[in-house]
Structure 1
Amino acid sequence: MASSVSPSAAAPNGSVTEKGAGAGTAPPAAAPPSSTGMILKVLAILLVTVAVWLIPPPEGVDPRGMHMAGIFLGTILALILQPLPTASVALVGLAAAMITGTMDPGKEALTGFGNSAVWLIVAAFFIADGFLLTGLGRRIALWFVTKLGKSSLGLSYGMAVTDLILAPATPSNTARAGGVVFPIISSLARVQGSTPDTPESRRRLGAYLSMTAVQVNTITSAMFLTAMAGNPLAAKFAADNGVQITWGSWALAAIVPGLVALAVMPWAMTKIYPPELTKTPDAPGRAREQLHQAGPMSRGEVIMAGTFVALLLMWVLGSLLDLNATAVAFVGVAALLVTKVLTWKDMAANGGAWSTLVFFGVLVGMATHLNELGVIDWIGRSVSGAVGGLPWYVAFALLALVYFYVHYLFASNTAQIVAMYAVFLTAAVAAGTPPVFAALAFGFIGNLFGGLAHYSSGPAGVVYGSGYVPTKEWFRVGFLASLVNIVIWTVVGGAWMKVLGMW
């Protein structure tokens, strides 16, 4: 398999598409699903859909509400069970909603395709192409290896800083991890004699670096609105509930706990999942050799770097200059097209971006329709009733923990965000939680749970497919790492958001 991956190989929901998204050792080819297994999956999806469809609409819910809820839940279950690829599942769900009259084709069914949050994600996928096609992302990673790569901990910090730099303009966390970070990790591990072939070999270095990269990726994804494809959707659902989140406000709230978590996590992983090799004196020299072979920065890399800095400035100052984040992203795409860093052929080949448009366009439309029909408010009231009477901070803590660990049931960050974010936000606010605090906290959690299991996110799938981290070890290490993140983001993040006046 190639040593890098384009964003088109990364699924919009944070999972790996059919093209694959890994480097180094290719994951073993999955056996085709049996016809019996496929039939059972379809029957389960139909059973859930019909069961919810037949529930009489509660008070305050439109008569079509439970029909929409049934189709929506059936679609989410199909995203988990994957009888078809992600975009195909979304289109089947949309077809069911239209043909049954649950969504009007002219007024309701296609509204998600006009949502600016969806197009922000699509535009950012194209911007991410620039890092990979020009080689700028790889150059940044190698440079940090030359400075920090004399130890396994230093290598881990180098990859962490690389991920952090790329995160604001790379909404495919799978492309970021699989296309830039993991190929270098795999190469470094193999040079040091660490392969997935035996437990002793993989634990020498590769397992530590790989698992740390996944946990770091969850943190960098949580730090910026444009660092993971589901984040703009969380902001959109928050806006539907009257809570406005901008690129700048998200980054400001996340910057302190995010930086602390990035400083702590690689070190914490040396205690949770220590490598046998702690010194790597040859790594900086090898990285310098590769940089020398690459030569000076190309015209495309220079333009990409300048465009990236300009985008960051416009996103950060967007609220002051009255600049829409989606408009800024398209200005970046236009600049890359005009300078021919990107071509329309490159954009047309980015299957991840177009799959994102279909997948998110459908699910955003469905989720918006559920809100309009009163279903989200009803579920939110029901959930908040379960924690009614508790102090808001206790109620929020319980809701946040449930929201975090229920991700064991999901194989996609975005699928859970679409299915549960609005419900939990509504419940938390109803319990008395300050709205901005709740909206941002659930937004952060929507990324931090991506390292829980080997199927929890796209980067997890890339690393698991390499063979460095077996399932049993992953569940143990993923859970312990999640505790580290929860403590940091609760204590440091909560205190920082208090300073900012968010609660």
Structure 2
Amino acid sequence: MSDNLAATDKEGKGPPIKKKSRFEERMKKWGVPIAIIFMLLLLFMPTPEGMEPAAQKSIAIFTGALVLWITTPIPIYLTSIIAILLLPLIGAVEDQEVVFGTLGFDVIWLMVSAFILTSAMIKSNLGRRFALWMVTKFGKTPKMTLLVLIAINFILAFFVPSTTARATLMVPICLILLEVYKAIPGRSNLGRVMMLQGVQADALATSGVMTATSGNIIAVGFINELAGGQIGYMDWLLASMPTAIITMLITFFIGFKLFSIKDESNFQDVMGTLHDELKKLGQFSTDEKKATIIFILTVILWATGDYHKDWFGFEISTEQTAVLAALLCLLPRVGLLTWKDTNIKWELMIFAAGAYAVGNALDKSKGAEWIIKNVVSTLGLEQMSHAMVAVVVIFLSMYSHLIFTSKTVRVTILIPAFIALAKTLGMDPVPLALAAAMTMTYTITLPPHSKVNTIYFGTGYFSVLDQVKYAVVTCFIGASIISLAYFTWFKVLGL
């Protein structure tokens, strides 16, 4: 920390510096030895029955990396580099392309494009204009600002069938708002809550709309084909959207308890300044017009993904649309940016590559599948009452994202398994599988658990530990609300 910054904080002109608690300091101090101990214990213990040696090695490296990502004794990108190096070195994967190739994943390109689009919004002042209008119109207080952003997330879920696309749209808006509020990454609780609730609003809104992600559609296919259900768009919406809204509202207020923002700004004093800043922007500039056209084109392509083949004869994916938008931003004369204008965080790309490498190793080695099967067996689901089985299945499904880094993988493995379990126990498989499927989008606990998490985490406004604390509470509330709906609301709907 510089002397000037320290002085600013002492004078009260900047946001207060959040000091790490003793627990966080101890975690950072002991993170490396704890990670090594856990990894070595898992690596050299006798291989459990039914587990392949590669799966054991993958689980060991995943556990060690998880400890380091949470305790942060070293930068998170260094942990990813270590994981990428260890996976092929100790034989967790046979082909090193499985791990070294993750830097070429579509999510990496999506993240690059997101940073370029953010730079375009900032340079053109389009984002600033929109943010200032939003703040002066609706965001009279921090809570109102956050509610507006959450509402936008839920509305977009109906029109943009991609969680990552919605994150790419929302993050630039959040960054501009936080710039207006003079929030500093890593220090501002307003920024911390805004970004964390952005992650959660994206995930919860997705759970409420069947077409908001491919995982929901795949789950409905399993339910209708394997369980004999007749779940359609409106069935899913009526069953899931109320639980998503209730969970979001409850966790919205919990966010203020976890990260108090009441003393961050005097909003009454700042509103006049914000109105003046909006007036200073004047008429739309050429760069703003270019950015507007690029963003409208991007939103249209994202929102109409299901119709591309009929219209064009080919499909333009979410990632291709994002890269196209980035290209348009950078093209001479057409665009408004040079490469020097972009603010791409390559350390985040390395971190994401390592996270996906570990996730791939777990999936390919069947380590994740072994863990889930043994959890189900250990819990003794066959001996429980039907009501208890339903609750356990919903909670197990909710927290299964701690192991699987892919919603599609979770849906593919768990939904058929839960349908088979329900049939074996004489339960109706349709409502059980539907309730479990509604939890599949709650991939909110760690940055590598979804592309959305990684994009929001890249802003630097919250730490891994911040996300874990908030997500554990949200997932518990979400699972509880869905369990309650299973026994009540589902019956009202005739499910």
1:308 is matched with: 295
Report the 3-state secondary structure (helix = DSSP H, G, I; strand = E; otherwise coil) of the residue aligned with 1:444: coil
Q: Paired residue for 1:331, among 318, 324, 340?
A: 324
1:47 is matched with: 37
Q: Which letter does structure 2 place at the counterpart of 1:87?
A: Y
2:357 is matched with: 365
Alignment of 1:80-119 (within 5 A): 80-119=70-109
Gaps of at least 5 residues in structure 2 are 2-12, 157-162, 207-211, 224-232, 309-314, 420-428, 448-453
Alignment of 1:370-385 (within 5 A): 370-385=362-377
How many angstroms does 1:103 deviate by? 2.4
How many angstroms does 1:366 deviate by? 2.7
Which whole-Å deviations, capped at 9, do the CAs of 1:224-250 have from their partners, x for residues lacking one?
78xxxxx99x969x99x999xxxxx9x
How many angstroms does 1:137 deviate by? 2.4
Q: Paired residue for 2:175, among 179, 188, 191?
A: 179
Which whole-Å deviations, capped at 9, do the CAs of 1:280-321 have from their partners, x for residues lacking one?
777654432110112223322222222222222212221221
- Contact 2:439–2:479 at 8 Å: present in 1 too? no
Q: Which letter does structure 1 place at the counterpart of 2:283?
A: P
**Does 1:220 find its partner at 2:217?**
no
2-structure distance, mates of 1:41, 1:463: 19
Q: Which letter does structure 2 place at the counterpart of 1:341?
A: L
CA distance change for structure 1 residues 288 and 308 in 2, over 3 Å: closer, same or farther?
Answer: same
2:444 is matched with: 447
- Contact 1:148–1:284 at 8 Å: present in 2 too? no
1:191 is matched with: none
1:13 is matched with: none
1:345 is matched with: 340
CA distance change for structure 1 residues 293 and 343 in 2, over 3 Å: closer, same or farther?
Answer: same
- Contact 1:87–1:359 at 8 Å: present in 2 too? yes
CA distance change for structure 1 residues 77 and 181 in 2, over 3 Å: closer, same or farther?
Answer: same
**Does 1:288 find its partner at 2:285?**
no
CA distance change for structure 1 residues 274 and 324 in 2, over 3 Å: closer, same or farther?
Answer: closer
Q: Identity across aligned pairs (percent)?
A: 17
Aligned alpha-carbon RMSD (Å): 5.6
2-structure distance, mates of 1:116, 1:136: 27
How many angstroms does 1:382 deviate by? 1.4
CA distance change for structure 1 residues 130 and 256 in 2, over 3 Å: closer, same or farther?
Answer: farther
1-structure distance, mates of 2:487, 2:200: 16
How many angstroms does 1:80 deviate by? 1.3
- Contact 1:425–1:438 at 8 Å: present in 2 too? no
Report the 3-state secondary structure (helix = DSSP H, G, I; strand = E; otherwise coil) of the residue aligned with 2:52: coil
2:64 is matched with: 74
Alignment of 1:28-43 (within 5 A): 40-43=30-33
CA distance change for structure 1 residues 319 and 136 in 2, over 3 Å: closer, same or farther?
Answer: same
2-structure distance, mates of 1:420, 1:387: 25
Q: TM-score, normalised by structure 1?
A: 0.63
Gaps of at least 5 residues in structure 1 are 2-22, 188-195, 197-205, 226-230, 244-248, 407-413, 451-455, 465-470
2-structure distance, mates of 1:53, 1:325: 39
How many angstroms does 1:336 deviate by? 1.1
Q: Paired residue for 2:392, among 398, 410, 413?
A: 398
Q: Which letter does structure 1 place at the counterpart of 2:293?
A: G
- Contact 1:68–1:370 at 8 Å: present in 2 too? yes
CA distance change for structure 1 residues 460 and 137 in 2, over 3 Å: closer, same or farther?
Answer: closer
2-structure distance, mates of 1:36, 1:173: 37
How many angstroms does 1:331 deviate by? 1.1
- Contact 1:120–1:326 at 8 Å: present in 2 too? yes
My pick for the range that moved more, 481-490 or 86-95, is 481-490
2-structure distance, mates of 1:30, 1:177: 29
2-structure distance, mates of 1:176, 1:311: 14
2-structure distance, mates of 1:158, 1:175: 14
- Contact 1:38–1:83 at 8 Å: present in 2 too? yes
**Does 1:146 find its partner at 2:143?**
no
- Contact 1:218–1:447 at 8 Å: present in 2 too? yes
How many angstroms does 1:90 deviate by? 0.8
CA distance change for structure 1 residues 66 and 180 in 2, over 3 Å: closer, same or farther?
Answer: same
CA distance change for structure 1 residues 498 and 324 in 2, over 3 Å: closer, same or farther?
Answer: farther
